[in-house]
Structure 1
Amino acid sequence: MDNHFAGFGKTLLRIRKNKRYSQQYMAENKIHQSTYSKMERDLIEPTLGNYRHLLSRLDMSDEELQYIMNDYNHSEKEQLLTAFMNLSFNDVALLEELREKARNYLKAHADYIIADIIHLTDALIIMAKTGDVVGARKQVRPVWERLEKLDGWYLVELRMINAMLFLFPIDEAILISGTALAQIQKYAGHPSASKIAVSLRYNLCLLLLKNGRYTETITRINELIPAAKEAGSYRHLCVCYLRKGFALAKTGNPEGQLLIDQAFRLIEAADDQAFKANLENEYILLEEAASS
């Protein structure tokens, strides 16, 4: 039996009874009664059409049903993907933990995405520890060689592109991010897609800054500030003020330092010491990049 449907019948039976639905209600003249009964007894697997119908009758998503079938837990792969999707790219301890779990997973499963995650965590660890861009690029090359051949990118691939965007030359990064954002537009309203799009835009602004493209940085950040205010995200607003202020300062505009000061006043008012440290570190790195 396909792992996706292992234990499906027992779970279907339990949920149906909990909801006090009859087999007739579940089948709804779309599935033969004897076929439905066999599915509940795990004698047969549902067809894709039947599976979608049953999800609709249960008022559940596939994700929720799989979560219940796995004893109210994500599957091992889902846990790895969720960890990757929520990853902080400069947290070495979490990166190393994820890499180890991914390696263990591959001992029992062949999986392109998990293999890609290992390459990406290797690259991110190198960057976090040594800043060796050349070494990090070697790690992600197999990932990009696979992704660039695809006809389209889905959420997990888009997240991977965001993770490795900083390793591309700036003009290539601009083109890749533009293609990625166009793909994300197909997911309008999807919360994960919105987060990836925001992250891509912020990462691209940082790349532009590090490459001395100050006018382009200011233009792009001006597009981000209203969204940060509307979302009530003081962290995003602080990042916008810091990066725009830095770009303005480097172009000789005295308003730049005022914006930088405003960023730090805002983070002080929020009493977010951990994020303040990240912001201070980014400012130092930007100064180093500008002077090199």
Structure 2
Amino acid sequence: MKTYGAAIRQVRKNKSLSQSDVSNNILARTTISKIENNNITPTITTVESIIIKLDVTMDELRYIKNNYQLSTREEIITDFFKLVSNTQTELLMDIISRCNIYTTNHSKDRLLEDISIVLNAALLLANNEFEHAQELVKPIWKRLEKIDHFSLIEIRLVCNILFYFPLEVIEKFVPRLLTMIDKYQALDKTLNSLKAALLINTASIFMQSNSAITTTSLNTAIVIAKDINRFDLLASAYYLQGVNTDDFNLIAKAKNIFLAIEKEDILFQFEKEYL
């Protein structure tokens, strides 16, 4: 792994920039030289000033610093974000195992511990052990529900555990969660997928008790899924809307999409639950 100074020097030279090109009213050329030669450790403010000149982000610089690789911790978090369904048992177990190995070999890491708990709860849920799963995630929920404004990772955690709780809790919290997601949309476009998934899950939960919430949630999810070309989410929303309105043509359309994108496992779960 490189130092920040070495990573900055690599990016600067790749762009054929001199140290004077990178210096500005805040930083002298000699300061840039000292950073690149590891004679001083730059502050976060200094690094931010430099990367603006280099046209890279902090995440990109960190990636270059790590020899164009994610750290072990970042890989775990990234794979957690990529999860599409709780039916991906092998992938869930793999991430849990990696979380356990990491937390055993490093100092306490609350985030990875939370991810491991959430995924273990998902496995329990897949085996219809709902109450056990709920008890497992309850401490995470008790901590997060007191926070007024979530970070990005906290938004994702809440989206994974919210549906373990009573309908009145879900109905009260989903609008707040959607507002938080919208605040981060400009920063992270992948949140569009998360928002659509949240609306689809909300619709499925309220299908028996509140058709209005189901219809509104699915209509919004369909618009988002089309905008971002997420055909798995689009098919899921179509399927549930078909069930909600007894529209078998819509269910057939959803089925055709699932088959076309080779997501038969998701289709199987829907048919198992609703047919």
After TM superposition, is the score higher than 0.5? yes
Residue 16 (structure 2) aligned to one of 1, 5, 20: 20
Deviates further, 177-186 or 275-284: 275-284
* Closer/same/farther in 2, CA of residues 45 and 215 from structure 1, 3 Å limit: same
Aligned pairs, number: 272
Counterpart residue number, 1:115? 113
Deviations 1:141-198 (A, max 9, x none): 1211221222311111111111112211122112222111111111133212222212
Counterpart residue number, 1:154? 151
Q: Within 5 A, what are the aligned runs for 1:208-287?
A: 208-209=206-207, 211-249=208-246, 256-268=247-259, 270=260, 272-273=261-262, 275-287=263-275
Q: Is the 8 A contact 2:221 2:237 kept in 1?
A: yes
Structure 2: give runs of 5+ residues left out of the alignment: none
Counterpart residue number, 1:71? 67
Counterpart residue number, 2:30? 34
User: 2:80 and 2:229 mapped to 1: Cα distance?
Assistant: 25
Residue 46 (structure 2) aligned to one of 43, 50, 62: 50
Secondary structure in structure 1 of the residue aligned to 2:190: helix
User: 1:91 and 1:205 mapped to 2: Cα distance?
Assistant: 22
* Closer/same/farther in 2, CA of residues 43 and 165 from structure 1, 3 Å limit: same
Which amino acid is 2:132 matched to? Answer: G
TM-score for the superposition, normalised by structure 2: 0.91
Counterpart residue number, 1:252? none
Secondary structure in structure 1 of the residue aligned to 2:161: helix
Secondary structure in structure 2 of the residue aligned to 1:191: coil
Secondary structure in structure 1 of the residue aligned to 2:148: coil
User: 1:226 and 1:11 mapped to 2: Cα distance?
Assistant: 42
Deviations 1:237-266 (A, max 9, x none): 3222211111123xxxxxx22322232244
User: 2:229 and 2:19 mapped to 1: Cα distance?
Assistant: 47
Deviates further, 40-49 or 216-225: 216-225
Q: Is the 8 A contact 1:214 1:248 kept in 2?
A: no
Counterpart residue number, 2:101? 104
User: 1:61 and 1:96 mapped to 2: Cα distance?
Assistant: 33
User: 2:156 and 2:235 mapped to 1: Cα distance?
Assistant: 23
Q: Is the 8 A contact 1:155 1:193 kept in 2?
A: no
User: 1:260 and 1:46 mapped to 2: Cα distance?
Assistant: 57
Q: Is the 8 A contact 1:225 1:237 kept in 2?
A: yes
Q: Is the 8 A contact 1:95 1:121 kept in 2?
A: yes
Which amino acid is 1:259 matched to? Answer: L
Counterpart residue number, 2:184? 187
Counterpart residue number, 1:93? 90
* Closer/same/farther in 2, CA of residues 247 and 65 from structure 1, 3 Å limit: same
Deviates further, 164-173 or 227-236: 227-236
Deviations 1:79-132 (A, max 9, x none): 11101111132211111110111111112122211111111111011112x111
Q: Within 5 A, what are the aligned runs for 1:198-213?
A: 198-209=196-207, 211-213=208-210
Confirm whether residue 165 of structure 1 aligns to residue 153 of structure 2: no
Which amino acid is 1:278 matched to? Answer: I
Q: Which runs of 4+ in 1 moved over 4 A?
A: none
User: 2:174 and 2:50 mapped to 1: Cα distance?
Assistant: 38
* Closer/same/farther in 2, CA of residues 74 and 184 from structure 1, 3 Å limit: same
Please give the root-mean-square deviation of Cα atoms over the aligned residues, in Å.
2.0
* Closer/same/farther in 2, CA of residues 194 and 229 from structure 1, 3 Å limit: closer
Q: Is the 8 A contact 1:215 1:247 kept in 2?
A: no
Which amino acid is 2:204 matched to? Answer: L
User: 1:72 and 1:172 mapped to 2: Cα distance?
Assistant: 43
